Structure 1
Amino acid sequence: MRNELETSHHVAQEALNALKKAGLQASVRNIELFYLHVSNANINLSKAIRTGENTGAALTQSRANELYEKFVAHQDAQDKIFSMIEKFETEAGKIADAVKESGKNSAGCSNALGCLADDLTKTASENPEVARLIDGVTNIVTSIQASNEKLESQLADSSDEISFLRESIETIQKEALTDPLTGVKNRKAFDTSIHRELEFARENDDPLSLVLVDIDFFKRFNDRWGHQTGDQVLRLVAEMMKANVKGRDILSRFGGEEFAIILPSTSRNNSILLADRIRDAVGTRLLKKRRTNENMGNVTLSMGIATLQANDTVETLIERADECLYAAKDRGRNCVISDGDVIPDGAKSVAS
């Protein structure tokens, strides 16, 4: 176990040192990239980085992004590094506790040795015949005391280092579950949350509803006003939805212009009320282009709601919410359809 802790600690530190040496920021993607490289968990990535080092090519942020997209940006690698990070966070806590305890013991020992050294010096002055022998013992005690003081300093440095690494890991974990554009939870966080909440609902005989949200004609909006403006609209819609959810509600970006809202302890009727409130708030918001103040009109939302049923799995719950979303589009968009409504056949044929 100790060897595993030391290895995790060493790899994490080496990854941070490599980042610093390259002059790159300690972002979640960069740390993930270098952790995989230093730990030799991704052979092709390490080979590419070493090839660059051997040719003297600088590892710029642009090059780091290329390496990430080529060798890391897939679910298996992300799951692996995330698991490694979680494991290290747990072990770092154990190491920090051990360091603190060792520091206390070391400090006590140093104080005791200091008193012993003083006593020996006094004895030597009172008994000259044993002065030579005591002088040798005093030197040994003083040397041990100095070594302990050095150990105390090293332990203090290690404790600070572990605290820094733990804070870095917490930041990494938060970023790994957050959509960078909108600031809401990402698809990975959604997948984890929906499984957890469905299990909780089952165990507690509690209602659970899922709302899938799609911005109507968003591709058309993007094509007309540009992708930067489209990104601003995505952020605005996310903020307006975030303002309407509360408590244990979980808002995530599901993909592209789609969002998902997990509503624990929420019935179908209450989910419909919330969805309609969000739909109305977004649909009545007049959008203007920032730089030109040009009127861009507004965007509307189509929303599908599924409420947990007796035999549901995560997959069937999502599928039913998705069918309701397409039914909302089939009905003309800018509306809410739940699995309590009659869903017309062929709803999924509607284009987004």
Structure 2
Amino acid sequence: MSTTHDHIAQYWEYADATLKALRDRGLRPTPELYHVWFIYYADDNPEILRVINAVKAGGEELDEETLLQLYYRYIFDRQAADFLQRGMEDFFHLIENSDDCLTTARADMRNYGELLDQSLETLSDHAHVSPVLSELETQTKGMKTTIDTLHQRLDGYLKRVVLLQRELDETRERSYTDGLTRVSNRMHFEEQLFKLAADYDSSETPDPFCVMMVDLDQFKAVNDQFGHRIGDEILVLIASMLKANIKGRDIVARYGGDEFAILLNHTSLDDAMHIAEDMRKRIAACEIKAKHSGTSYGHMTVSVGAAQYVANEGGAKLIDRADNALYRAKKDGRNRHFAAE
């Protein structure tokens, strides 16, 4: 009982601290902002803890936009992604089982129809001998008609299932793709990363792999100066340049806002740093122009942090180490790439 009371008391402390933080900063007590601060005081998310502490240590102000980015990056996206993934897996399982059942039923119907055809031939030859056989012939013809109708319906159902499977495949592809940049989204990136980490940990001779976190420098200033439409065009351009710098099995994903994540298969940290340097220089040398008008918006730079997977550390820790290297690159002046320690 005392343990329950202790937990309740702790929650009240977190709630009080959360409301005070909102009041002190003149922030609206919206569910999103409240959720971020509550998790911060509950020490329930290391990424949120690290970002807020870093901002506070730098003497900067935590504005509403920064907190909303934290909410959609570390809280909302993960919850929504988990829900979508579970729902789609259950639905795929249902459809696949339906496909098997319908295919089996159609085969059984076809076999039964062939058997009835053979029976009808025999009955037709002997129907004149006995009224009983004549009646049996009539009933068998009726059954044959019913079987043929069911067979046609099963064909229709199977076609609909095949169509539905195709639509589900397309839906799954869309659920893995960022709507703006058309590279992978965070859900797909993390799913592939965690799978790769599990394969690495279970292998006797694993191949190295790395994660790179890439952040656009001073992107907020670009949005403020030129507007979000131009900002979106820049994100699309940067995403395409990042994708052009990787191999076919590697993954580029929009991780959140103006931050991208790259999963490099069969790649050592030294090789990842060469890729990061080449990528950073190519982007810095590219003049940003509006897609339709051709108006120049100057040059953009990126900061990059890279980390190589260490056995049994798990995907989340690998991302943290790459993110810390990215933070060092930005703190050191931006337009740089750092390897995780």
Partner of 1:307 in structure 2? 308
Q: Structure 1 residues 229 and 169, CA, compared in 2 at 3 Å: closer, same or farther?
A: same
Residues 222, 80 of structure 1: alpha-carbon distance in 2 compared, 3 angstrom cutoff? closer
Contact 1:82–1:173 (Cα < 8 Å) also in 2: no
Corresponding position of 2:265: 264
Cα distance in 1, alignment partners of residues 80 and 335 from structure 2 = 39
Task: Give me the whole-angstrom Cα distance separating, in 1, the residues matched to 2:122 and 2:312.
Answer: 79
Quote the offset at 1:192 in angstroms.
1.5
Shift in alpha-carbon separation, 1:337–1:227, aligned structure 2, 3 A: same
Q: Secondary structure at the match of 1:281?
A: helix
Q: Percent identity?
A: 29
Does 2:112 correspond to 1:109? yes
Distance 1:211 1:336 in 2: 10
- Kept in 2, the 8 Å contact 1:184–1:251? The answer is yes
With over 3 angstroms needed to count, the CA separation of the structure-2 counterparts of 1:205 and 1:81, relative to structure 1, is: closer
Aligned pairs for 1:236-247 within 5 A: 236-247=237-248
Measured after TM superposition, the shift of residue 313 of structure 1 is 3.5
In the alignment, which residue of structure 2 is the partner of 1:29?
none
Distance 2:138 2:309 in 1: 76
Q: How many equivalent residue pairs? A: 265
What CA distance in whole angstroms lies between the structure 1 residues aligned with 2:145 and 2:270? 72
Structure 1 residue 188 corresponds to structure 2 residue 191: no
Task: Write the letter of the residue equivalent to 1:195.
Answer: F
How far has the Cα of 1:102 moved from its partner?
2.3
Query: Is residue 208–residue 268 contact of structure 2 (8 Å, CA) maintained in 1?
Result: yes
Describe how 1:90-169 pairs up with structure 2 within 5 A. Answer: 90-125=93-128, 127=129, 130=130, 132-169=131-168
* Change in CA separation of 1:242 and 1:77 when aligned onto 2, cut-off 3 Å: closer
Deviation for aligned residue 1:290: 3.2
CA distance in 1, matches of 2:85, 2:197: 23
Q: What SS does the corresponding residue of 1:86 show, helix, strand or coil?
A: helix
Distance 1:321 1:106, change over 3 A: same
Deviation of residue 263 (structure 1)? 1.6
Q: Distance in 2 between matches of 1:158 and 1:310?
A: 48
- TM-score, structure 2 as length reference: 0.72
**Cα distance, 1:212 vs structure 2:** 0.6
Q: Which amino acid aligns with 2:198?
A: E
In structure 2, the CA distance between the partners of 1:247 and 1:98, relative to structure 1 (3 Å rule), is same
Partner SS, residue 317 of structure 1: helix
Q: Return 5+ residue gaps in structure 1 as ranges.
A: 1-72, 341-352
Q: How does 1:8-87 map to 2 (within 5 A)?
A: 75-76=78-79, 78-87=81-90
Q: Deviations over 1:169-206 (max 9, x none)?
A: 21221111111111111111122222222222333343
Q: Is the 8 A contact 2:304 2:329 kept in 1?
A: yes
TM-score norm. by structure 1 comes to 0.69
Q: For each residue in 1:20-61, what CA deviation from the matched residue of structure 2 results, as whole angstroms up to 9, or x when unmatched?
A: xxxxxxxxxxxxxxxxxxxxxxxxxxxxxxxxxxxxxxxxxx
